[in-house]
Structure 1
Amino acid sequence: MFLLAVVGGAIFAIIQFALANVLEKQETILYYLQQQDHSLRKQFGAEGKKCPNCQYEFDAALSSCPRCGSRKA
């Protein structure tokens, strides 16, 4: 019975480790995509708005701030 608990715990730890690696890789990919989007916007001069509430800069085509939802922009 003890051996079964140890094996089960080891399998659980391996699964948790694998999931943590997947999440870390997704965050890294998202970071690089955001960097690429930012550089493309700079390069092509895309217009943007700045939210008066949270100071987040977003696309001028949007009617509200994607971060806080304010429609004052």
Structure 2
Amino acid sequence: MVGQGGLELLQGRSVMPADKNRPPDSSDRATVAALIFVIVLVAVCVWVFSELKSRNDELNCVVSGRTNCAPPSQ
């Protein structure tokens, strides 16, 4: 039910309509911070796993008895 002044009555409580011009509150900042943290964590994990795979490939080359196991220089 919509009352006067744009207030919505929901189970006996008045709820103000969402203000699109409101400044972000701490909940929004925490959500953005958590998202950035997860993205950085995934990027670091991908980098660590790629480094581990590279080292493992070099180790397998050395263990197999090859002498030219250095990665190609760029």
Same fold per TM (> 0.5)? yes
Per the shorter chain, which TM-score range? 0.5 to 0.7
- 1:47 matched to 2:64: no
Please give the TM-score of this superposition, normalised by the length of structure 2.
0.55
SS in 1 for 2:60: helix
Identity rate of aligned residues, in percent? 10
What residue in structure 2 maps to residue 16 of structure 1?
36
How far residue 14 of structure 1 moved from its aligned partner, in angstroms, is 0.7
Deviation at 1:46, TM superposition (A): 5.6
The Cα shift of 1:8 comes to 2.0
Unaligned runs of 5+ in 1: 49-55, 59-64, 68-73
CA 1:57–1:34 in structure 2 vs 1: closer, same or farther (change >3 Å)?
A: closer
Structure 1 segments (4+ residues) deviating >2 Å: none
Question: Could you say which structure has the greater relative contact order, defined with CA pairs below 8 angstroms and 6 or more residues apart?
Answer: 1
In structure 2, the CA distance between the partners of 1:21 and 1:33, relative to structure 1 (3 Å rule), is: same
The answer to whether 1:34 aligns with 2:73 is no
Structure 2 unaligned regions, length at least 5 = 1-21
